[in-house]
Structures are given as C-alpha cells and as structure tokens.
Structure 1
Amino acid sequence: MSNPYRKIFAAPGAKGFSAAGFFARLPIAMALIGIVAMLSQTHGEYWLAGAVSATFALANALVSPQISRLVDRFGQAAVVTPTTIISALSFLALILATNQKWPEWTMFVAAFLAASMPSIPAMVRARWTELFRNRPELNTAFAFESAADELVYIAGASLSVGLAVALFPEAGMLISTLFLALGTAAFILQRSTEPKVRIAQDQTAQGSAIGRRPVQIITLALVFVGSIFATAEVSAVAITKELGQPSAASLVIGVYAVGSFVVGLILGAFNPKMPLHRQLLIAVSVLAVTSLPLLAAGISVPLLALAVFLSGIAISPTFITAFGLIERRVPDSMLTEGVTWVMTGIGIGMALGAFVSGWVVDNFGAQNGFWVSVAAGAATVATVALGQPSLAAERGEHVSDELPQPAE
C-alpha cells in the first residue's frame, strides 16, 4: 500500500504552507488556556480567567467568519495581514495589562480586540481544496489537517501551561503571540498556493454560509465539542493544583489528544467508504461515551491522564468528517467562510466551556467540572442525530459522499 500522505505533500508548495500554517495556528490552543493560566496565577480567580478567555473566544467566533467571508471575496493576503497585526498588538496589550495590574476592564478590551485573529485552519484547508478539489487526496489532506489540529492542542495547550508554570505567568501568552506573528507572515508570503478568488455563479451561492442548514448543524455540534475541550483543560489545571502537582497539568493536557492524533492519521490513510454523515454520528457517539470516565478521574494524576487520553480518541475523526461535510455542502465561493463557521463553533464552545466549568470548579470543586463535558457530549450526539437528513443531502441533492476516483 502506497503512503497517501507522501502523495499529498508531493504537490508543489504543500509542505511549505502546511508547516507555516501549523505554527500560525498554535495560538488557537495556546491563547485560550494561556489566558486562564496567566490570570489564575496573577489574580487567583478562575472566574476572571474564564471570563477574559471567553471574551476573546466569543468575539473571535463572531468576527472570524466575517474575516473569512472577506477572504473569499478579496484573497488571503489582502485580509489576513492587517487582521493579524491588530490581533498580535492586542495580545501584547493584554500581557502588559496583566503584568502591570491595570484595571480589569483593560484586559477585556484587549481580549476583544485580539479576536481579530484570522482562522488559519480554514485558510490551510482552502489551500488543500485548491490543490485537490474533487479528488480523493482531499480527504487524506483533511485527515492530516485534523491530526495537525490535534497536535496543535497537544503541543500548544501543554506548552502554554508549561511555560506559565515553569517561567512566569505571561510566558505562554508571549510565545503564543510570537507564533501568531511569525507563523502567519510565513504562511501569507507563500503566494503560489493562495486560492483564487471565486465569484458566486448563481443566486443560491449568495449570502452567508451560516444560512445553510448543514453548516448550522455542524457548527452547533462543534459548539458542544469545543465545550468538552475547554472543560478538560480548565478541570485538569484545577485538579492537578488541588492534588498538589500543578506542573502536571501540561502533561495531562498533552495526552488529551494523543489517541485522537493517531486515530486521525489512520482514518486518513484508509479513507472509509461509509457516508460522512454516518461517520460523524459514530464519532460523536464515541466522544460522548468516553467522557464518562472523567467523572471518576480526580483521584490521582495518572488516573486523570488515562481518562483524559480516552476522552480524546474521537476528536480527530469528528473533525475530519465535519470538515469533509462542509467542503461538500457549500459552494466553492464560500468555502473559507463555511470552514470558519465550524471553527467558530469550536471557539464558542471553548469560551462557554471555560466559563461554565470555571464557575463549577469555583463553586462545587475541581472534579465536578467534568459534568460539563458529559452534558456537552450528550448534546453533541442529539444534534448530529437529529440533523442526519440535512447532513445526508449534498448541496440540496442526494449524492454519494465518495469522491470520484482518478482515471487509471
């Protein structure tokens, strides 16, 4: 069996934009948990840390689809460059406000402005789609990107917490901002793989991608998935601190996505033939079931790490199928926006999960934070199950999910 990943990276420019995109998207994982780690240490209150983190995530959830909509109309370089500059400067302001003990409202303002950070995962997937549109290699590319997203959470969240604990509270956020600035610059400078601006050819392709039912369903489902992410991170930080081993939080968060990373790569290599909407239902069902052991995982750090590891095995398959469905359910002229709405769902979920789980931890204890994960898992299954008829229809038609095979 030939290596499908070697095949996709043989395309001109693929290695370059994928590598740059990896570093540019590290702040997605680093910033949210970095804000929590930074403020919980400097101000000692999880509610404030969760609220500032939620401000950033919710604002980004509202703004990033509009940025991506502009990208679809004017191109990546023209839009991503100025928005990244604003975001990086705002993150620096947030770090300074924390370090200098400025009034709390300044932190919220800085977090709000930092939300202009563009959705790099959407930009990367748009480039892969430009290379392999309507070809089976696209599923492999999406699988790789979903596995890369997992690696971002493994490396990003763990690195952010580890730096904040080992060096100084603002260290994680400082490195995150550096990755955002340099990684995005390297990505944008690679103009040869930038997708062409595509003009809508008919009236059904006008408007916003969020107006389409499949995008609405997948976005809502990933709101709950994002809540599971954030709850695991906040609860892990709180439980390890309660157990007297705060430095172990980075290890626990690091193992969260290891299983999912491996499963995602395998799924991309074998390219299952089952329709994507059914694959998504199976993936989120596994995600819900594996959240249950978290309720009894606060006894020790090894047990917590094991439960968190198990809870993450279905994340990458969920991402792969979700993005695959979006690529086949929206017109080419709004692909970047459609992918960004899905990423937005994750961001909204992480914001709500961080806030709700932070409140639960403060009021009911660290271990009870995982009840948020269980509830979110059940809601994810319900959303995808009820949305199966809409997810099965491709752009208004009932068409097979299988991509056409190349001619022999």
Structure 2
Amino acid sequence: MHKSPQSPTLVSLAGLGYFPLAMVARLPFAMMVIGVLTLVVAARGSVELGGINSAMVGLGTACVGPLIGAAADRFGQRPTLLIAGAVNSVALLLFAWLAYSELPVWAMFVGAFLVGASAPQASPMSRSRLVTLVGDLPVERRPRVMSTTMAYESAVDEAIFVFGPVVVGLLATWFGAGAPVIGAAVLTAIFITLFALHRTSAPAKSAEERAATLAPVSELWRPRLLIVVIGIATVGVLFGSTLTGLTSFMQDRGAVEQAGILYGVMGVGSAIFAIAIAMLPPSFTLRLRWPVCAVMILAGTLLLQTAHDIPRLLASLALMGIGIGPLLVTMYSLGALRSPAGRSATVMTMLGSGIVVGQSAASAITGTAAEQAGTSAALVVPLVAAALALASGIANWFLTPESERRSAH
C-alpha cells in the first residue's frame, strides 16, 4: 500500500478555518459574567445586586457545565452544542428582559443561573476535539504537539477573557447596557451553531461503542485528576480576586474605569508565556512546572501587597502573568493526560467550571473584603490563592503516578 510522504499535522486534520471559528465561539462566554454585571447595575442601580447575579452565572456553569461535557462524551458534541446554544441564546435574551422588568430580584437570580447553566462550553469542547485529533498523529510527535496545543488553547482563552470585557464596555457605551447581553445571544446563536456543525465534531456513538470506549464515571474521582480540578480552581480564585482587588485599588484613586486596562497587563503576559512554555525541553516535566509556576505567581502576589502606586502594581501583575499562563497550560495538559477513556469533554468542562467557580466565589469574597476592610484586605486574597496553588502543586507532586514521572509529559 502506498504511504503518503507527508504525515498529517493538527492543522491539516482540523482545517485552518477551525481555529478562528473556535476562537470566536468562546467570546460570548467571556462576555456573560461582566455583561450581566453591567446590565444589572445599569437597570437596577445596585452594584451588590450585579455581583450576586454574576455569581449566579458562575454557579450555573459550575453545576451544569460538567453535565454538558458528559452529554457531549455520551451523545456527541454536535447535538449537545446545538441544544445548549439555542437554550443559552434564549436565556440571555430572557435575562435582558428580566433586568428591566418589574419582577422581583429572585426572578433575575433564576435567569442568571440559567444563563450560566446553558453556557455551551466552547473552550473545553475545543480542547477535547484537539486532544482527540492529536491521538491521530504519529506516536513520537504527540507529546510535543499536545504541549503546543494546550499552550495555544490557554493563550486563546487568555486573549478572549481580556478582550471580552473590552467588547462589553464598547457595546454598553455605544448601544446601552443591555447590548452586551443581547450581543452575546446573537453571537451564540451564530457561532456556536457553526462550531457544532464543524467537521471536527465527532458523531454520536452507539450504545455498543459507548460501552466499549467510555470509562466508568468512578474514574473521574481519582485523586490524581481531582487535584488538577482543585488546582485550576485556585487559578480561578486568583483571576476573580485580582480583578476585584484591582477595581478597588483604582476606585480609591478615582479611576475605576481603568481597572480592566491594567488587568490586561497580567492577561497579555500570561498569554505570551503560555505559548512560550511549549518551547521548553521535555525534561522540565508537568510535575515540576506546577510548583515552579506557582512560586512565580506567589512572588507576584507578595509584591502586590506592597503596591502603593501604579508602577509597582503593574510590576506585580506582570510577574503574576509570567506564572499564570504556563500554569494553566500545565493543568490542562495534566487533565488531558489523566482523562479516563472517552471522557475528555467531561474532564475539560470540569476544569473550565473549576475556573468559573473559583472566579465567582473570589469576586464575592474579595468585594466584601474591600467594602468592609479596604483595598489592602482585598489584595490579600490573591496571595492566599497563590499559596493554595503552590500547595496543590506539592500535592500533585506526590500524587503523580510513576508512569507519568518517567514520561516526557
């Protein structure tokens, strides 16, 4: 049989058009939390109420996100995404109406929960697809391509989560506070549908195929996988607490609207170093990367405690960014490596939900700390998050099985 002289690449397997599509498909998710916050504050005049609704979005994602991933593993991504995208578009439009209605606040909480619960999880689904495609490459190329893929996906997430709030701000400024939520609904309806129908979306498996290829659910609760979920939740805490603490810091200086721009310093640095981590030698194993990156973040949060002016604040954010991007890549790579057979979408949504849970909880806690005890107290929360990230990295060091320790990845 004639063998092609050119072996396939990930780009040739996915198609060049896949990557911009997958990037835009995750933009509505990045707009939801801050879009809901902006809308509620404008419509109901309460920052506290806006924060609670944002937390409800996060709670919805945390509760239902992994179930959407499990449905994708069981029934295929295409039907799962088409249903989730349709429900999410309706939920976003419903919430835009609820915010301006005369209905009580609990109705808004339910609406916000539905927005989060129906979020289509484009980012974890994309990781799951690419992980599957990497398995079609020659064995000797898989470790390097997997590392590069996770680096790319993390960099895209960073860019989208920096760009998402900017889009929300522009839409709200130009068209009113309801525009970001309505815009997210339209983007979801169009791009999640296209993402669902893309040829990389694996078809649903028969009952016989599922029985043969799906690992039992109990394997999702193994300590070596759960420690990755716990670890990535600490990164979510870091995101939420840093942005909220930074907002308080800038509010003290009468320039609260600049908080998002300054936060971008951490996001941009994080994205750059997420890509750079793929260039490091395989001898710098995932097991070792985790605590090393966490120490870098811890150093940044320690510097943050002494930040009394903008230059020092920016220096601390830049130092944190150097560690955050590579740490996310490391955790997603470990998640892919430790995913039970046929459960990659479930694992990736568990990790994505872990970030959202940490972010939502930290935003509420840090906001309360800022209000009750001032900005200095609020800036302690990122330090605690960094310490927890390091502690979970140490735990992972001992939980890593011998087979992984011997492996390049």
1:27 and 1:333 map into 2 onto residues whose CA distance is 27
Structure 1 counterpart SS, 2:269: helix
Cα distance per residue 1:72-131 (max 9 Å; x no partner): 011001111111211221122222222345421121011111121122111111111122
Q: Cα gap change, 1:8/1:234 in structure 2, threshold over 3 Å: closer, same or farther?
A: farther
- The one of 256, 260, 276 aligned to 2:286: 276
Which residue of 2 is the match for residue 129 of structure 1? 131
Q: Is the 8 A contact 1:263 1:316 kept in 2?
A: yes
Map of 1:293-312 to 2, 5 A cutoff?
293-297=303-307, 299-300=309-310, 303-312=312-321
Of 296, 315, 325, the residue aligned with 2:324 is 315
Equivalent residue in structure 1 for 2:298, among 288, 296, 305: 288
| TM superposition shift of 1:337 | 0.6
Q: Percent identity?
A: 25
- Name the structure 2 match of 1:370: 379
The structure-2 alpha-carbon separation of the partners of 1:108 and 1:298, relative to structure 1 and needing over 3 Å to count, comes to: farther
Q: In the aligned structure 1, how far is the partner of 2:281 from the partner of 2:178?
A: 42
Instruction: Give yes or no for the alignment of 1:35 onto 2:36.
Output: yes
SS in 2 for 1:240: helix
Match of 1:21 in 2: 22
Inter-partner Cα distance in structure 2 for 1:169 and 1:241: 21
1:344 aligns with 2:345: no
236-245 or 100-109, larger mean C-alpha shift: 236-245
Q: What one-letter code is carried by the residue in structure 1 that aligns with 2:107?
A: T
> Is 1:159 aligned to 2:167, yes or no?
yes
Partner in structure 2 of residue 400 of structure 1: 406
Match of 1:116 among 115, 118, 124: 118
Match of 2:5 in 1: none
Match of 1:170 among 158, 175, 178: 178
Unaligned 5+ runs, structure 1 = 1-6, 404-408
Equivalent residue in structure 2 for 1:143, among 151, 172, 178? 151
Is residue 239 from structure 1 mapped to residue 241 from structure 2 by the alignment?
Answer: no
Please give the alpha-carbon distance, in whole angstroms, between the structure 2 residues aligned to 1:321 and 1:277.
8
Count matched residues. Answer: 392
Secondary structure of the equivalent of 2:343?
A: helix
Return the offset for 1:298: 5.5
Look up the equivalent residue of 1:56 and give its one-letter code.
V
Q: 1:250 to 1:221 in 2, by over 3 A?
A: same
The answer (yes or no) to whether the contact 1:209–1:338 under 8 Å persists in 2 is no
Pairwise CA distance, 1:162: 4.8
Q: What is the TM-score with the length of structure 1 in the denominator?
A: 0.87
In 2 relative to 1, CA 268–168 (structure 1 residues): closer, same or farther, beyond 3 Å? Answer: same
- Give, in whole Å, the separation in 1 of the partners of 2:80 and 2:25: 15
Residues 269-320 of structure 1 show CA distances to partners (whole Å, capped at 9, x for unaligned) of 44543221211221222222212233343644x5544433332222221111
What is the alpha-carbon distance in structure 1 between the residues aligned to residue 18 and residue 267 of structure 2?
Answer: 23
> What residue number does 2:3 align with?
none
Q: C-alpha deviations, 1:3-56, integer Å up to 9, x for none?
A: xxxx95631434322221211212333222233333344444433222211111
Q: How far apart are the structure 2 equivalents of 1:161 and 1:147?
A: 22
Aligned: 1:223 with 2:233: yes
How far apart, in 2, do the equivalents of 1:209 and 1:182 lie? Answer: 35
Q: Report the Cα offset of residue 187 of structure 1.
A: 0.8
Q: Deviations over 1:126-171 (max 9, x none)?
A: 1111221151312211111111111112211333245445653333
- Of 206, 210, 220, which aligns to 1:199? 210
Q: Does 1:56 align with 2:64?
A: no
Q: Aligned partner of 1:206: which letter?
A: P
Superposed displacement of residue 354, structure 1? 1.3
| CA displacement, residues 328-354 of structure 1 (integer Å, 9 cap, x when unaligned) | 112231111111111111111011011
Corresponding residue of 2:79: 78
Please state whether the residue corresponding to 2:12 is helix, strand or coil. coil
- State how far apart, in whole Å, the 2-side matches of 1:119 and 1:386 are: 28
State the secondary structure of the residue aligned to 1:333. Answer: coil
Structure 2: distance between partners of 1:371 and 1:172: 32
Find runs of 4+ consecutive structure 1 residues off by over 6 angstroms.
none
Query: What displacement does 1:321 show?
Result: 1.0
1:181 aligned partner: 189
Letter in 1 for 2:406: S
Instruction: Tell me if structure 2 keeps the 8 A contact 1:358–1:369.
Output: yes
> TM-score w.r.t. structure 2 length?
0.87
Contact between 1:231 and 1:357, CA under 8 Å: does it hold in 2? yes
Q: By how many angstroms is 1:355 displaced? A: 1.1
Unaligned runs of 5+ in 2: 1-7
Partner of 2:406: helix, strand, or coil? Answer: coil
3-state SS, counterpart of residue 305 of structure 2: helix
Q: What code does the residue aligned with 1:123 have?
A: M
Of 242-251 and 369-378, the range deviating more from structure 2: 242-251
User: Is the CA contact 1:237–1:249 (under 8 Å) kept in the aligned structure 2?
Assistant: yes
Change in Cα spacing, 1:45 to 1:291, as seen in structure 2 (3 Å) is farther
Q: Note closer, same or farther for the CA distance 1:402–1:318 as it changes in structure 2 (3 Å cut).
A: same
User: What code does the residue aligned with 1:312 have?
Assistant: G
* Change over 3 Å in CA distance of 1:202–1:117 after alignment to 2: closer
Contact kept in structure 1, 2:156 and 2:271, CA below 8 Å: yes
Indicate conservation of the 8 Å contact 1:275/1:400, yes or no. no
Going from structure 1 to structure 2, the CA distance change for 1:232 and 1:30 (only over 3 Å counts) comes to farther
Deviations 1:231-276 (A, max 9, x none): 2222333333332223313312322211111111111244543221
